[in-house]
Structure 1
Amino acid sequence: MLPLKDLEEQLLHRADPCLPASDDGARRLLVLKQYRFHKKLEIQLFRGCITKDGRLKNPLTPIDPLAAVLQADDPDELRFYAAVSRFQNNPTAAVTDDDLAALQMIFQNPAGFHFHVHNPEFSESVVAGSLQAVTTGAALHDLSILVAQADGFYDIRPQLNAAEGPVDLRVQRLLFGYFLRIGNVLHLPASMQVWKALRFFLQYPGGMRLRPVDFETFRSNILSKLEDSLSIVYTYAQAMPPDAPEAQHLYTPPERVIYLSELGSYVLINPVMKYGESEVPLRSRRPLYRTDAKGSLFQLDRDGRAEDAFLAQILQQHPHFGEQLSEPLPYFYLHRRRFLDEGWFLDAFAQWRSEGIAVLGFSALKGNRFNEHKPEVSVRLRSGINWFNALIGVRYGKQKASLQQMQRAVRNRSKYVTLDDGSLGVLPEEWIRRFEGWFAAAEPDGDELPVPKTAFRTLHELFAEESWDEDVRREVGLYESALLRAGAVPEAKLPEELHATLRDYQKRGYDWLRFLDEHNFGGCLADDMGLGKTVQAIALLLAQRERHREHPDLVVVPTSLLFNWEAELERFAPSLRVLRFYGPNRARQLKSTTRYDVLLTTYGTVLSDGSWLEQQQFNLLLLDEAQQIKNPSSLRYEAVSRLKARNRFTLTGTPVENATLDLYAQLSFTCPGLLGTPRSFRALFSVPIDQFKNSKRAAELQQRVAPFVLRRSKLEVAKELPEKTELVLHCPMGEEQRKVYDAAEAEFRAFLEGTADEDVARNTLHVLRGLTRLRQICNSPLLASDTHVGADASSKIDVLTERLTGLVPGHKVLVFSQFVSMLELIRTELEKRGIGHAWLSGRTRDREGAVRQFQEDPSVRVFLISLKAGGTGLNLTEADYVFLVDPWWNPAVENQAIDRAYRIGQEKHVIATRLICPDTIEEKILQLQDTKRALSDELIQSESAFAPSFTKSEWLELLSH
């Protein structure tokens, strides 16, 4: 076994007998000493104990500063230990700036060490008795060089002041090459320049005497360069009299200038006070002197108060500047990335300029393309004819940015805009958002942003009201009071030529249309189907003809509604001269269009004759069933948008069929600019609303379009509606269908004409077969088995499916036909469009199940019913629209069908629509219904009971048209 002493040394750890450093009985020591073999400074750290009477005692335990770094949390302590390690086992040949900086860090003493100086005469080793306690004092910076004249020479001598008072350099030395020891206080030179001058004058404490010729050289080469860091005092200089001619321009307030330059990756910020022609760095101690005409030297006082204020204005722009005050530099500095890339300079420069400080040298920084100014944006909003014109000026100092340049930058989401001189103006995020809003509202035109007057509701968001001129304030007030408050639209007089009595809601619709038109606003009348949009529009056509007669109106409708519009115009406004601009003969009509008040045409004609129509000037341009232009990228939308008109209106029962873009197309047509560009509309509304169901954006969109869309549902105007409204919807045949019908009619006519009167009465079955065939062809040529025409040749199916598509989202609909085969064709079209429907014919076994499906299933929107199967015994009160696909001889049968929806206790108002092919036997059936409507049901029961009462001539009359 090893000896017990060896085992103790190897196995047992003896803790330090001293108390912890935080205890009053322990002390941490910083010892300044001299290396054993040379006179360089060495710094060591120790832990020592003290006696009860406060004396330090041995042993002293060394502290490794690098090990202390691992235990330190405070950043200042980390720097302290790193600075100490610099002076251990690493003597340097010369004193450097880094040495002085490390000593300044040590003198801050964040770890709370007690400073001691080692006395090697007591012991070469550091022991308690070899240490003398010292304290650290303020840095030495008040070193002046006094220049005096004596006996024809110049005497140069130093003057040093410390916190304790004047210091006699003749009895001083630099302890360890760095410190002045005054009593028990160690002072460290504040800068390398002070250290070098102090070291020099400690060698020559009495100063120097120079001849005048040598002094001038010394002054220009030495003293002038020391003036920024040391105080140079010419004792023989006199105070400049304020009234001296040389002083007049020197006593004006000094100018403040900041010069910018570069040093590596840093931008240097050098503040200068300019006294007359003399520039003095703000951080220098340079005096101001002037020599008069006689050669006398005069001293001028620097404006200390102004310089302190200038310094404060610099410091408040960045926290780093305050930290740099302790560094002996004539400038402040920031890393180039922080100075330029983070846009710091914009705020700093703006603040300095606002306080009258000039900033020079920015454009000379290497690779710098930035403009040094923040954007200054001026806005003036004026009223034009159809626009509010915002005159917007954007300037960056002396440079201008056009609205087109701003738009490119904003569209590219760039933080910079290219200016006229090629420099880059920085766009703050606040201005990017503001310009995004402006460019979403309108496209720039030169220096102006023409915002359509239809967008008056957005003006408060876009432009501060102090930028509005008086006309803008007045007009916006008028529009807001009339269009944003219910019932506030002023009443307008109905035209005397109108042959109709409008219901109250229709009169309000007419008033609204008139108000919009008088202020050159377009609009969309979007009442539910059957509420009389056409008659309201016709009233407008009549009214504005009194004021605008120089150009005709243009009404564009689907081909299927052309006949209906002709009939309605003739019925309600017979005084209007109407030209049906449609069909193969329209080329001959081109020269005569100016003789008419209204041109009535179709969407297809606008597409085919667009080149001619685009050259014409119209008064009103009115689109019916305007959902036809719901796609803003379609040829149809582009064609109608190119037409020139004083004003535009649309009619539709379904302003939005699938997505918000439907609404954009219609309102961009009637109110150009209201909803901005397609790109901005998609970003602001379409994507948030359609994809993410953003209710806030939906409310914003509704608020924007509300003044220009008038929609009344049947429920809203229920009190003004009759219990049942019966309409006739004409469905003109297409070319193929007409060809089939005309051939069948000619064949039937030939049969009648070639048959004797008495034979016609005997061949009733053959006559009825001919009538039925004509009626089937009116529905669809496919119902007549001997025809060969495509399934799309039915004008009724086209019109019906178009109407159903618009109605089914909010209504339930009954569709009656005498022919089950016609209902089957309709069912096929509904299935193609994904419209839920129920079916009832004579072959349906579960009638109650079909009825219950329609009444209770919300996905079932349409009920297809055979007229005979559903004429009696049904109660279908969920429906509020009824379509009669083909007219029946007996109006009582049709009324029974309509009454399936209208029952006692029914809360909905029912609108029944008969589909009629004009210029066919169906028109004659309608006329026959009118003449026979007063007869009792017993007299007219069916075709077979009805037929014998007709003579041959009456049958032929039935075929005439």
Structure 2
Amino acid sequence: MPNLLPTAEPGVRVLHGFVSRDGGLNLWAEGGTPTVGPAGGRGAPWHPFAVPAGELPPGERRGPALLMLPSTGAGPLPSPQVGVPPRRGVRRARVWRVPAVGVPFLDADLAAEFDGRISPGVRWMIELCGFAASLVRRGRVLPGVRLDGARPVACWRPVLIGADAARHGTLLERMPPACRADTSGPGPSVRRPGAGPAGSAGELLTAALERLVDGLARTRLAEAGVTLAGDGWLAALTGEPEFDAPTDRLDELIRSLDGWFAQAARGSEVRVCFRLSDPREHEPVLPGDVRLPHDAWRLEFLLQAADEPSVLVPAADVWRDRFTPLRRWTSYPQERLLAGLGRAARLHPALGEALREAHPAEMILDTEGAHGFLRHAGLLADAGYGVLLPAWWRRRPGLGLSLRVRSREPIAPVLRDHAAGLRDLVDYRWGLALGGRTLTEDDLADLARAKVPLVKLRGRWVFLDPERLAAGLAFLRRGGGTMTAGDALRMIRLLPPEELPLPVTDARGEGWLAGLLSGELDERLELLEPPGELRAVLRPYQVRGFSWLAFMDSLGLGACLADDMGLGKTIQLLTLLLHRRDGPALLVCPLSVLGNWQREAQRFAPALRVRVLHGADRADPARLADGADLLLTTYATAVRDADALAAVQWDRVVLDEAQHIKNSAGAAARAVRRFPARNRIALTGTPVENRLAELWSILDFVNPGVLASAHTFRARFAVPIERYSDEDAAARLRQATRPFLLRRTKADPGIAGDLPAKRHVRHLCGMTTEQVSLYRAVLDELMERLAEPGGTRGKGLVLAAMTKLKQVCVHPALLLKDASPLPGRSGKIDRLEEIVDHALGGGESVLCFTQFARFGGMLAPHLAARFGVPVPFLHGGTPRGARDAMVAEFQQAQRPGVFVLSLKAGGTGLNLTAANHVVHLDRWWNPATETQASDRAFRIGQRRDVHVHTLVCLGTLEERIDQLLSDKGVLAERVVGSGEGWLTALSTNELRDLFALAPEAIVD
């Protein structure tokens, strides 16, 4: 087995499709774990993640297919649908062997039999099959002959003209490259005119469409019991395709059929078109002073150029020989018009009345007649006729249900048990809605009097499906009653149409229910004044976020604040904690940000009594929570102390970086769901990383049951959206989650103008046990040297120790110089990976500065392997030509990337505006030098906000010096321009205090 990274989480599978070179449709699948061993002997190797043929949708078993796929030296690249970054390495095309099945026809039902995601190639093949079925259904086929080698084969050929030719061209343009990856055998022996080179996309599309049309036409004839008798070609159209014929007769047959095909294409260049106008759209008096009834509809006949639909000539002008615009397409328009009307009368017999006139030009219809034509309009369009209908018909509103909900309590409650707001009883009443507006009693009376579904309501013509109307009226007989607020939300936002006779299109409530039911909560929100204890000024969007959290909290409803990274989720949560404190709040966060929460709470909300549950000798959670406003802990500690934490009655349970519970069956997700709380809050910048099940897990934590069970959620939302890109399901999911999820990004209009052009973010990182041990060893050695009697203390001793301590803070391998692996040994590297992952996921690039050139050489390949993107490294030894090439390539790259630079070599003289994230991995402790480096991205030509990330190790000399630099006093002025030399002037006791390691530094 090659040394491959898994393409996805175990269980994630993707169904792919390709067109074999003879036009057949085939399926294969890519799995998340290795399933097939490498092939023995000679030939192409097995694709290591190919799913066995027995697990594919039913089809004809064929031998292994040979596919040309993007690869690296390690193996095939994962397809984008598996949702992971591509693997690093030089890319090249390589042939892989995969198990495959052939399918004669592919539709959504067949694809649904595969438990996994659907690739664009499969969706394209489903669309191609739908196009072929449409051609056969509309009779857009003619019999023909093709030569398979020397053998004549009878076939049904598609006739592609007008809109069908345009659709064929669209399919050709959108054909995914993966569909033409087959290299298993020779191409078709028959060249198809206009199809492109053998093996090209055009050749494969033509072969696939002809094969589909031929198979579908034969199936339709067999289902109708049609069998063509005789010998030779005619019988082969419904029997075995191959037939025998003398060469001279075969040549004559082919010429005749080709002529028939060409004549059909020419004859279809002009088609009959029907234009229906409602009583408002035409003059009430026609030429000849003919006055029309007030409810008269006008059906005009026209001739239209099929390939230029804008060329329209009324039938009246055709009979007057005024058809100059059509002379380019036909010389016999009158015959075309009569022949077309005659064929149309077979599809809609009422049109036969027009043929009683010598020169049919139009028909005047009553409402019932107009309804009859509208019912047949689709059939006429499928048969190739032009059909022009009133504008309102194309965007006619659908009939739905309306729901009116009224809370029994005039004032929203303030103190509640968890989710009590969803358990409140509310009064409700059902109604019918059209176009989002509830129908009145008078409207319903008009509907009852109507003889046909075409009705004029409030001055507008509308069409109401009789069956939907009957189902809606029957449902209204249930009347009203009471239900819980939670049931009302589920009824409106979660139930698919099949569980109600009609969808809910108009839902309104009173009081606090109004925003939740309408989905306009953010617009109705009353903004609150931040508490006076807050030591910060909130930006407008942060005030809205805090007010939204407070509103949801007052109702006992859980909330998910999903603001983008850097928008201040921390300060919004701290503001909420200051706004209302009714007991201890538990906040669970990753190890890497535990210290950051401590410092931010101390900085912005010093009135909060904050305690930490962490470490080997941690206290009992109940004792720590007693008298505390906020208890901070990590996910790992929450799992280990789950029983003790579950024994405390919390006012709030808050999850930071809530994507840590994206796996609802994981230990962390199971643990935090056990903690009792009046209210629950989730903070995350990435509510969905790979699957919609992750969103369900987070929202089910904040409001258990509001999105139904995991199984129900998967069936109603995850499968339709992830497999079939179902827009209706996606819209229902947005409605279902909108009341409980607030998502803002830096690109939002209300935020982009409010953010500074250059934003500084300080990340307080913890240290691993290995880092702490090395830090203490360096510190002990320094103190021993300084305490030596009669020893001389030089500047070099202090600076050398300081450099070693900074190296330890970055990574143990930097101090040890042993080129050991980087993962899992440094809190800074863990945080750097989170920043890079978030930036790349948002399509943004990153500059990473370090003063240690040797570590930059270790970091660049590590990041390249971790994220599958090129990571150049620029340092003082980089030649000028290579340096310029690196910068040019980074600036012109079409996809986001990472650039590692040494601070001295890359801190000045470069324009790197392709990046808008700058990370300072270690501190130079000279603000001017660091600002110069940051300005490589923040300069003329930068169109995005620049985010400067400074990584500081918690509880170390880095944090203490960072605090001194942030002070605007004398010390900061001394530091600027003097580098680190000021440290050597400190006394031994001052150095000991500055370099000391605080207990909160360790995070594992």
TM-score, normalised by the number of residues in structure 2: 0.48
Aligned to 2:762: 728
Q: How does 1:911-922 map to 2 (within 5 A)?
A: 911-922=947-958
Letter in 2 for 1:633: A
Q: Does 1:675 align with 2:707?
A: yes
Q: Does 1:624 align with 2:656?
A: yes
Letter in 2 for 1:513: L
Contact preservation (8 Å) 2:845, 2:897:
yes
Aligned to 1:458: 493
Distance 2:697 2:858 in 1: 32
Corresponding residue pairs, total: 526
> Is the deviation greater in 713-722 or in 495-504?
713-722
Aligned to 2:778: 744
How far off is 1:479 after superposition? 2.3
Equivalent residue of 2:848, what SS? strand
Distance 2:508 2:517 in 1: 14
Contact preservation (8 Å) 1:801, 1:829:
no
Q: Does 1:834 align with 2:863?
A: no
Distance 2:672 2:557 in 1: 17
Q: CA offsets, 1:811-868, max 9 Å, x none? A: 2222111123433444344334334243222233322222233223233332222211
Aligned to 1:765: 796
Aligned to 2:905: 869
Match of 1:496 among 532, 555, 561: 532
Q: Does 1:774 align with 2:805?
A: yes
Letter in 2 for 1:834: F
Q: CA offsets, 1:596-640, max 9 Å, x none? A: 111111101110000111122111111111111111121111111
Equivalent residue of 2:510, what SS? helix
Q: Does 1:514 align with 2:546?
A: no
Aligned to 2:25: none
How far off is 1:669 after superposition? 1.2
Equivalent residue of 1:569, what SS? helix
How far off is 1:482 after superposition? 7.9
Q: Does 1:908 align with 2:944?
A: yes
TM-score, normalised by the number of residues in structure 1: 0.50
Q: Does 1:474 align with 2:510?
A: yes
Distance 1:906 1:572 in 2: 31
Q: How does 1:105-184 map to 2 (within 5 A)?
A: none
Q: How does 1:680-691 map to 2 (within 5 A)?
A: 680-691=712-723
How far off is 1:896 after superposition? 0.9
Aligned to 1:543: 579
Distance 1:769 1:589 in 2: 42
| Unmatched 5+ stretches in structure 2 | 1-403, 409-419, 429-466, 473-481, 998-1004
Distance 1:861 1:709 in 2: 30
Aligned to 1:203: none
Equivalent residue of 1:859, what SS? coil
Contact preservation (8 Å) 1:737, 1:794:
yes
Distance 2:521 2:426 in 1: 27
Match of 2:850 among 791, 807, 817: 817
How far off is 1:491 after superposition? 1.2
Equivalent residue of 2:531, what SS? coil
Distance 2:491 2:533 in 1: 34
Q: How does 1:19-38 map to 2 (within 5 A)?
A: none
Q: CA offsets, 1:147-203, max 9 Å, x none? A: xxxxxxxxxxxxxxxxxxxxxxxxxxxxxxxxxxxxxxxxxxxxxxxxxxxxxxxxx
Contact preservation (8 Å) 1:878, 1:901:
yes
Q: Does 1:711 align with 2:746?
A: no
Q: CA offsets, 1:299-355, max 9 Å, x none? A: xxxxxxxxxxxxxxxxxxxxxxxxxxxxxxxxxxxxxxxxxxxxxxxxxxxxxxxxx
Q: How does 1:163-562 map to 2 (within 5 A)?
A: 385-387=421-423, 451=486, 455=490, 457-458=492-493, 473-474=509-510, 477-480=513-516, 483-484=519-520, 486-545=522-581, 549=582, 551-562=583-594
Q: CA offsets, 1:99-120, max 9 Å, x none? A: xxxxxxxxxxxxxxxxxxxxxx
Q: Does 1:590 align with 2:626?
A: no
> Is the deviation greater in 695-704 or in 878-887?
695-704
Contact preservation (8 Å) 1:886, 1:916:
yes
Higher Rg of the two aligned structures: 1
Equivalent residue of 2:919, what SS? strand
Contact preservation (8 Å) 1:889, 1:943:
yes
Contact preservation (8 Å) 1:482, 1:488:
no
Per the alignment, do residues 951 and 563 of structure 1 end up closer, same or farther by CA in structure 2, a change over 3 Å counting?
same
Contact preservation (8 Å) 1:883, 1:912:
yes
Match of 1:697 among 726, 729, 732: 729
Q: CA offsets, 1:114-143, max 9 Å, x none? A: xxxxxxxxxxxxxxxxxxxxxxxxxxxxxx
Equivalent residue of 2:611, what SS? strand
Q: Does 1:660 align with 2:696?
A: no
Letter in 2 for 1:822: F
Q: CA offsets, 1:473-500, max 9 Å, x none? A: 4357522488516532111232121111
How far off is 1:557 after superposition? 0.7
Distance 2:975 2:516 in 1: 61
Distance 1:616 1:624 in 2: 20
Distance 1:858 1:532 in 2: 30
Q: How does 1:19-58 map to 2 (within 5 A)?
A: none
Aligned to 1:8: none
Distance 1:879 1:452 in 2: 48
Equivalent residue of 2:714, what SS? helix
Distance 1:879 1:905 in 2: 11
Contact preservation (8 Å) 2:589, 2:634:
yes
Aligned to 2:137: none
Percent sequence identity over matched residues? 37
Letter in 2 for 1:720: D
Per the alignment, do residues 942 and 380 of structure 1 end up closer, same or farther by CA in structure 2, a change over 3 Å counting?
closer
| Unmatched 5+ stretches in structure 1 | 1-378, 393-428, 435-446
Match of 2:935 among 875, 881, 899: 899
Letter in 1 for 2:774: V
How far off is 1:648 after superposition? 0.9
Q: CA offsets, 1:849-892, max 9 Å, x none? A: 22233223233332222211210011122222221111112111
How far off is 1:541 after superposition? 1.0
> Is the deviation greater in 793-802 or in 733-742?
733-742
Per the alignment, do residues 596 and 906 of structure 1 end up closer, same or farther by CA in structure 2, a change over 3 Å counting?
same
Distance 2:604 2:900 in 1: 33
Alignment RMSD, CA only? 3.8
Asked which structure has the greater RCO (Cα within 8 Å, sep 6+), the reply is 2
Aligned to 1:572: 604
Q: CA offsets, 1:678-734, max 9 Å, x none? A: 112222222232233333322322232122222222222121122222121111112
Q: Does 1:606 align with 2:642?
A: no
Contact preservation (8 Å) 2:798, 2:984:
no
Per the alignment, do residues 741 and 949 of structure 1 end up closer, same or farther by CA in structure 2, a change over 3 Å counting?
closer
Letter in 1 for 2:779: E
Distance 1:637 1:452 in 2: 25
Match of 1:636 among 643, 665, 668: 668
Q: CA offsets, 1:69-127, max 9 Å, x none? A: xxxxxxxxxxxxxxxxxxxxxxxxxxxxxxxxxxxxxxxxxxxxxxxxxxxxxxxxxxx
Match of 1:807 among 814, 839, 846: 839
How far off is 1:532 after superposition? 1.0
> Is the deviation greater in 787-796 or in 651-660?
787-796
Distance 2:671 2:594 in 1: 19
Distance 1:826 1:637 in 2: 33
Contact preservation (8 Å) 2:508, 2:514:
no
Equivalent residue of 2:654, what SS? strand
Distance 2:813 2:546 in 1: 43
